[in-house]
Structures are given as C-alpha cells and as structure tokens.
Amino acid sequence: MTNAAFPQARIVPLRMLKPGTAERLLNMLAGIAGIRRMMIHGPGLPKTVPYGPARGSPNPHSDRTAIRVADAEIALRVQVGTVILEVEDASVIEEIRSLCDDFFVEFPYLLQVGKFMKTTPTLVDYARYGPDADGSLIGLTDPRKGESPVILRTEQ
C-alpha cells in the first residue's frame, strides 16, 4: 500500500499535448530523481467509433501512436491532457516546477499540489492484483481495459 504522506502534483497544460511534445515532457520528468509514480490522463482515443451512425468503423486519429519514455514503448490510448505525479518529498515538486517553467514557453500550464491518485486499494485493485498487490500499482488500474500499466524502472 502506498503512504498517503507522499506529496502529489498535477501538471495541467492549457492545451492537449501532441504525442511528440508529451514524449519530450515525460522523458524530462523521468530523469528527475524522486518521482515515485506518474500517470497521464486525458480523453480517450478509441480504435473504433464507439457510438453514432459510424459505430464500429475504424477511428483514424493521428495522436493514437506509440511514444518512447525512458526504455519503454508506450501506446497512447489518450490525448495527454494532464500528468499526475507522486513524489518522495516536496522539494521534488519545486524541481518539477522549474522544469515545467522551462518546458512550457509557448503556452501556459498549471502545477497543482494535492491528492490526485488513490493511495489505498480499491475493490478493482483487489480483484485485479489480489491482496498482496504492489503498492506502486494502487489506483492506476482502469477496470474497463485488459491492459496493465507501463512500469518504468529507473536507476536512482
């Protein structure tokens, strides 16, 4: 189980990020020591049209692509709207703020501090991972998807 004492932050750009921009930002964030968990959030990019007269037909979207973060290839299933982070201590948040000030020069962003990820296991976490679940996976499960989260292991 994760400790609720770990600070959390959310990076909210004014615009949705294109895959290339998201890849650069996530790689820069992956280089910061002290980030425990990272989650991207935004509107879904389904492979097929989910409703309406074109239901079931292919849904071509240029943002549904794969990006490389650290050593992992990640298939984007969402447009990157926010990046949620859990960090070791509050000093890491200031390092993230400095990085974002340098990164977001063409449009503004917000860096919010609060609680944005679940810190205790939910019923979905228990059903998916069992009673001895890895604490770093708590709250990162989408019950509608059969895919597991991507885990980046960095040398720290």
pTM of the entire predicted model: 0.82
Helix, strand or coil for residue 4? coil
Whether 151 maps to a domain, the answer reads no
Which strands sit side by side in the sheet containing 8-13, from one edge to the other? 35-41, 82-87, 8-13, 109-114
Total domain count, the chain: 1
What is the rounded CA–CA span in Å between residue 93 and residue 38?
13
Whether 39 maps to a domain, the answer reads yes
Does the pLDDT value for residue 130 go beyond 50? yes
Mean pLDDT of the chain: 86
Q: Are 63 and 76 in contact (CB under 8 A)?
A: yes
Who's near 31: CB < 8 A, 6+ residues apart?
none
pLDDT value of residue 9: 95
Q: Are 140 and 121 in contact (CB under 8 A)?
A: no
Whether 100 maps to a domain, the answer reads yes
Does the pLDDT value for residue 107 go beyond 60? yes
Does the pLDDT value for residue 155 go beyond 60? no
What is the rounded CA–CA span in Å between residue 70 and residue 139?
22
pLDDT in tens, 35-81: 988 989 999 888 899 899 999 999 988 899 999 998 889 889 899 99
1 pLDDT band (50/70/90 cuts)? Answer: very low
Kindly give the residue spans of alpha helices, DSSP state H, lying in 86-156: 90-103, 123-129
pLDDT in tens, 72-98: 898 898 999 999 999 999 999 999 999
What is the rounded CA–CA span in Å between residue 47 and residue 122?
28
Whether 142 maps to a domain, the answer reads no
Q: What percent of the chain has pLDDT over 70?
A: 85
Does the pLDDT value for residue 15 go beyond 70? yes
Q: What is the domain extent for residue 33?
A: 8-137
Whether 1 maps to a domain, the answer reads no
Stated as kind and residue range, the H or E segment containing 11 is strand 8-13
Please give the C-alpha separations between residue 130 and each of 6, 63, 126, in angstroms, as whole numbers.
23, 34, 5
pLDDT value of residue 141: 63
Least confidently predicted of 60-69, 112-121, 128-137, 144-153: 144-153
